[in-house]
Chains A and B, each alone.
Chain A
Amino acid sequence: MTLLKQSFELGLSLCRTCGLAVSGTSLRIDRRCPRCQSRIEHRTPFSIEMTLAWLIAGIVLYIPANLLPVMHTSGLLGEADSTILGGILEFWRSGDRDIALLIFVASIAVPFTKFIAIGLLLLTVRKNSRWQQHQRTALYRIVEFIGYWSMLDVIVVALTSALMQFQVLGTAEPRAGIAFFCAVVVVTMLSALSFDPRLIWDRPA
């Protein structure tokens, strides 16, 4: 490990667009690639700050996403607002445990895991920790990958409310909660995108 040199130890930066290596590692000033005019960023600027901001936004939005009903169903058998947790409990009680587990994993476990993972990454990067660098990089990849699949609930609600329009017999309408849930997914994805995994490997100068 110690044998490997970091680019800033060599006083170099790399243009991410055309691969041109340029001198200097300053993060504070806006530099442009002399060849392709792209912005040269030694590290993603304000990565930690932005990631943290998006993460906090995600966590804040996650609260109403779970408290507010995501769907309103009405039909002959009455009408009901269902929250995500309430829906999971209902599925679980009525015996559809696989569906309950699926929704739980997609809607509760995944966002929660993302919060914890990004939080962990931020914390360790902040401390310049050298702990489990490989695993942390793998964790980052997982977080980035998993983000696309967190929209399951949003898709379910969108499909249900589009298909279930039988007027008197039954209708389903989306409620505010699903918008918050959608926002949570988007914001956590942005949070993951703002994170610069190179920071994991940076050592204090």
Chain B
Amino acid sequence: MSAAPTPPSEEELPTPVVQNRRWIPRLVWVVPIAAAVIGISLLIRNWENSGPRITISFLSGEGVQVGKTLVKYRDVTVGRVSAVVLSRDHQTVVVTADLSKDAASLLKADTQFWIVRPRVGVGSVSGLETLLSGVYIGMKTGAATLRERQFVGLENPPALSHGPHGRELQLHAARAGSLAIGAPVYFRQFPVGRVIDENLLPDGSTRVTVFVEAPYDNFVKPVTRFWNASGIDVKLGADGLNVQTESLAAVLAGGLAFDDGPIEALFFTAGGMPGEFSLYKNEIEAMAPPDGDPHYVRMRFAQALRGLEVGAPVEFVGVNIGSVVAVDLGYERQDKSFPVIVTAKLYPRRMGQAYEALAEQGKTESVETLAAFVGTLVSRGLRAQPRSASLLTGKLYIALDFLPASPRAAFDASIRPLELPTVNGTFQELEASVGRLMTKVNDLPLEQIAADLHTDLKDLHETLSELHGRVLPSAVDTLSALHSTLDSAERTLDVESPLQRGLTETLSESRSTLQAVRELADYIDRHPEALLRGRRPQKMPQRPAASSPDAKP
């Protein structure tokens, strides 16, 4: 310090001031150690976070890009495609994806993967966002406990990717109609679920899988009936035009509806909840009581049956118990005639109490008992008869009715299918009677009648003209004379007439005369002597009595 002001000489160089070292340069090693710690911790975290690597095979890898295509679960990214290669047999595309660690627990043996692409249907539009962002791989976790790393991707996305709570149901139907996957399921016009799958079973029938969301799945009971609600139901009934449809979407895309079955079914209590239901064609069919198995009968009609179609109803005493399944032309060798052979299926259960009576005997389902039953009915006059359902359309139906007046018919209970005796249709009888009526009308002597009528009319005309010419004028004269007579009578009776006036005067005079007579009588009564002595002058006190009314006011 003291050396500072003095300039140093050539020989004597100044010695620096020595201080204690206060800093530790070795602290710098903290930096690489910290860097290493951070780096290693990052690596560890990265390693911890790195999830499983899975492979999914698809038929087509359209739109899948390495490093870009994401794997999403409930629309949240859980992974990314890291490789897309062809399988060894070149039949599929194997997509390798790295999932995040959280997604590892989603990988079950039945986890489903599918490629989300834009899909536009009538009932729904989905995956539109992928138009711009490119496809992504959707994922739906399964319920299995087994873990899996290799999957086979679905070609079509499942209808329900997020597994909401609810119940899956299988419906069986002869044909599914115009149902599309994703078509709505309605409960009393309220959409409560969707069709999630359709399958054609090996036997040719259709199995439709529907999903009913919670809490509406509680509405599905063992007695529930499902029916196809596609289309519009237009009914023209006694109460007017009735158009019924579930919704416009259901009209276009098809849809299902369900509701509790008919009341009879409510008493039916099955043990468990069935997972499978029948799918009916429409609500009416669904709500009809169960039909049981049909029985086939054949009817032979000896008349043309134009207007009888397959599906036409067969009615027993006005109740629909079946339908026509075939109308064929037969041929009788004996009389070379062409009868119409109608085959129909009947549902004995629809016969109500009669069926129950049979059921009590416990042998309903056998054809023999039915044949015996029908035999007794035939002996009581049961006949099949074609009848006109509507005069406008000319459609026919088959009526089974008791016609005791009909001729006796043979019933062979051994023929299969049962053959019911027939009578000709009422419309033919109607035709015949109309014909007879026409003949009678033709036979009428119409011209003669017309000529007679003409003569009569002429006579009438003459009579009338005579009446007009002679009788009427004299009648008019008589009437005018009557009028003048009445006129003069009226004048006579008038108040102002001299007769009236004279009469009035006479009456008033006779009244005063009578008064004088009464006064005289009174006077004589009080003064009988007056008869002898003559009248005395009147006394004073009588006057005020007469004028007292004037003094009072």
Report the separation of the CA atoms of residues A46 and B1 in the bound assembly, to the nearest whole angstrom: 27
Contact mask for chain A residues 22-52; partner B; CB cutoff 8 A; 1 contact, 0 none: 1110000111111101001000011001100
Report the separation of the CA atoms of residues A67 and B14 in the bound assembly, to the nearest whole angstrom: 55
CB pair A68 B19 closer than 8 Å: no
Report the separation of the CA atoms of residues A22 and B46 in the bound assembly, to the nearest whole angstrom: 56
Q: Which residues of B contact A35 (CB under 8 A)?
A: 4, 14
Smallest CB separation, B47 vs chain A (Å): 12
Report the separation of the CA atoms of residues A60 and B13 in the bound assembly, to the nearest whole angstrom: 46
CB pair B18 A31 closer than 8 Å: yes
Q: Which residues of A contact B20 (CB under 8 A)?
A: 30
Q: Which residues of B contact A76 (CB under 8 A)?
A: 132-133
CB pair A31 B133 closer than 8 Å: no
Given contacts A53-B28, A78-B68, A187-B31, contact A34 B39 (CB under 8 A): no
Q: Report, as a range, how many residues of chain B touch the other chain.
A: 20 to 34
A20 CB–B CB distance under 8 Å = yes
Smallest CB separation, A199 vs chain B (Å): 15
A56 CB–B CB distance under 8 Å = yes
B405 CB–A CB distance under 8 Å = no
B362 CB–A CB distance under 8 Å = no
Q: Which residues of A contact B16 (CB under 8 A)?
A: 13, 22-24, 31-34, 40
Report the separation of the CA atoms of residues A60 and B16 in the bound assembly, to the nearest whole angstrom: 40
Q: Which residues of A contact B46 (CB under 8 A)?
A: 67
Report the separation of the CA atoms of residues A31 and B13 in the bound assembly, to the nearest whole angstrom: 14
CB pair A57 B31 closer than 8 Å: yes
Smallest CB separation, B15 vs chain A (Å): 6
Judged by DSSP, the binding face of A is mixed
Q: Which residues of A contact B1 (CB under 8 A)?
A: 34
CB pair B4 A34 closer than 8 Å: yes
Report the separation of the CA atoms of residues A13 and B20 in the bound assembly, to the nearest whole angstrom: 18
Contact mask for chain B residues 43-85; partner A; CB cutoff 8 A; 1 contact, 0 none: 1001000000000000000000001101000000000000000
Q: Which of B4, B36, B133 contacts A78 (CB 8 A)?
A: B133
Closest A residue to B37 by CB, please name it: A60
Q: Which of A13, A50, A61 contacts B25 (CB 8 A)?
A: A50
CB pair A29 B35 closer than 8 Å: no
Given contacts A60-B32, A77-B132, contact A49 B25 (CB under 8 A): yes
A156 CB–B CB distance under 8 Å = no
Smallest CB separation, B464 vs chain A (Å): 103
B267 CB–A CB distance under 8 Å = no
CB pair A56 B32 closer than 8 Å: yes
CB pair A80 B68 closer than 8 Å: yes
Report the separation of the CA atoms of residues A63 and B36 in the bound assembly, to the nearest whole angstrom: 10
Closest A residue to B133 by CB, please name it: A78
Q: Which of A23, A64, A183 contacts B15 (CB 8 A)?
A: A23
Report the separation of the CA atoms of residues A155 and B187 in the bound assembly, to the nearest whole angstrom: 62
Report the separation of the CA atoms of residues A40 and B18 in the bound assembly, to the nearest whole angstrom: 10
Q: Which residues of A contact B67 (CB under 8 A)?
A: 80
Smallest CB separation, A65 vs chain B (Å): 9
Report the separation of the CA atoms of residues A57 and B8 in the bound assembly, to the nearest whole angstrom: 44
CB pair B31 A53 closer than 8 Å: yes
CB pair A23 B26 closer than 8 Å: no
Q: Which residues of B contact A23 (CB under 8 A)?
A: 13-16
A120 CB–B CB distance under 8 Å = no
CB pair B19 A53 closer than 8 Å: no
A12 CB–B CB distance under 8 Å = yes
Q: Which residues of B contact A12 (CB under 8 A)?
A: 13
CB pair B35 A183 closer than 8 Å: yes
- Name A residues whose Cβ lies closer than 8 Å to a Cβ of B: 12-13, 20-24, 29-35, 37, 40, 45-46, 49-50, 53-54, 56-58, 60-61, 63-64, 67-68, 76-78, 80, 176, 183, 187, 194
Given known contacts A13-B16, A34-B17, A80-B68, what 16 new A-B pairs fall within 8 Å (CB)? A21-B8, A22-B15, A22-B16, A23-B15, A29-B18, A30-B20, A30-B21, A31-B19, A32-B17, A49-B26, A53-B29, A54-B28, A54-B32, A58-B35, A64-B39, A76-B132
A-B contact pairs, 27 of them (CB 8 A): A13-B16, A20-B8, A21-B8, A23-B14, A24-B16, A29-B21, A30-B21, A31-B17, A33-B16, A34-B1, A34-B14, A35-B4, A35-B14, A45-B25, A49-B25, A49-B26, A49-B29, A54-B31, A54-B32, A56-B36, A60-B36, A61-B39, A76-B133, A78-B134, A80-B67, A187-B31, A187-B35
